[in-house]
Amino acid sequence: MMDRIVILLTILIGGGISLVLLMGKGSFLIAGYNTASEKEKRKYNEKKLCRTTGIYLALITVLVLGAEIMGDNIPDWYLALTMGGVFIGLIPTLLYANLGCRIKPEEEILLEESPEKELKRKKARKTGTIITILITGAALVFSTVLLFTGNVEVVIQNDQLEIQGSYWSDYELPLSEIQAVTYREDFETGSKRMGVNSLQLNEGTFQNKEFGEYTIYSYVRCKDFVVMETTDGVLVINGKTPEETRTLYEKILAASGLE
């Protein structure tokens, strides 16, 4: 679970920093440039350098996000694409940052800037810092909400079971397709193949030793489950508490005619 949290935070923070850099801000985040002397910094187009770095970081963030969405079901070609994007993409990024972002000698900014220009430069850096802090803070808040909130609502109506889960697509199952319903207190959820695996919810396609791939909409803290074998595979759900799960089980049994 902790590795999922780290990956999610990395994606959100990486996305936030990418956005700042793509705006031409946040040059203090670029390794090497942020420790260079003022004389050396004036040899580069700062906005172009920020955007170049931002494009590369955004590419990595998108690739990692794709890998997280796919879960354990990542095809070999996507792994190759990700590795290529990270390592091979680094070479042209560094070359362009060092060559394409350089200001031509005749265009270099004079070192003897007026106090007004120096003040504007400091204000711009301060603004970039504030924007970065705000975006990073927003990313952390969003990740916290995603990790610790969410609901699964199960409704039986019109001869079908309707499941509405936060952060994942809804699910509908005709009651006539339910072949067996069991109440389980010893169910192993296994690992995520594709979907949501937070501290609050498990949603999407998971895989375990008992059923292989199956569909789940459940609360992580509740260890009781309703397991349904259907014509389309196995569906697993639960409520927030064992009591809610038991009630849900009895309703599904009655509605499906499998009592």
Question: What's the CATH code of the domain at 180?
Answer: 2.30.29
Do you know the residue count of the chain? Answer: 259
pLDDT for the residue 80: 79
CA–CA dist 196, 151 (Å, integer): 12
User: In this structure, are 95 and 110 located in the same domain?
Assistant: yes
User: In this structure, are 36 and 156 located in the same domain?
Assistant: no
Residue with tokens 């494009």: 55
pLDDT for the residue 188: 94
User: In this structure, are 142 and 170 located in the same domain?
Assistant: no
pLDDT for the residue 239: 96
Domain boundary among 92, 118, 148: 148
**Structure confidence by residue, pLDDT tens digits, 7-25:** 777 777 888 888 888 888 8
pLDDT for the residue 98: 82
Domain count, the chain: 2
pLDDT for the residue 226: 97
CA–CA dist 215, 173 (Å, integer): 12
pLDDT for the residue 1: 47
pLDDT for the residue 215: 97
User: In this structure, are 142 and 16 located in the same domain?
Assistant: yes
pLDDT for the residue 106: 58
Q: For the chain, list residues with pLDDT below 70.
A: 1-6, 71-73, 104-118, 121-122, 124-125, 128-129, 132, 135-136, 139-140, 143
User: In this structure, are 204 and 96 located in the same domain?
Assistant: no
| pTM score of the predicted model | 0.61
Domain boundary among 148, 173, 208: 148
Token pair of 69 as six digits = 């969405």
Exposure letters 25-58 (e unless 16+ CB within 10 A, then b)? bbbebbeebeeeeeeebbebbbebbbbbbbebbb
**Structure confidence by residue, pLDDT tens digits, 24-65:** 888 887 878 878 887 788 888 888 888 888 888 888 888 888
- Which domain range does residue 13 map to? 2-148
pLDDT for the residue 136: 66
User: In this structure, are 125 and 50 located in the same domain?
Assistant: yes
User: In this structure, are 63 and 141 located in the same domain?
Assistant: yes
Task: Please answer whether residues 150 and 162 qualify as being in contact, where contact means their C-beta atoms are separated by less than 8 angstroms.
Answer: no
Cβ-Cβ contacts under 8 Å for 229 (sequence gap 6 or more)? 178, 179, 180, 181
pLDDT for the residue 245: 97
User: In this structure, are 192 and 68 located in the same domain?
Assistant: no
User: In this structure, are 200 and 136 located in the same domain?
Assistant: no
Could you give phi then psi for residue 103, rounded to 5 degrees?
A: -85, 135
pLDDT for the residue 5: 64
Intra-chain end-to-end CA distance of the chain, in Å: 37
Cβ-Cβ contacts under 8 Å for 169 (sequence gap 6 or more)? none
User: In this structure, are 162 and 143 located in the same domain?
Assistant: no
Domain boundary among 105, 133, 148: 148
Compute CA distances 110 → 24, 101, 105, 119, whole Å: 21, 17, 11, 15
CA–CA dist 246, 32 (Å, integer): 60
pLDDT for the residue 92: 85
User: In this structure, are 20 and 85 located in the same domain?
Assistant: yes
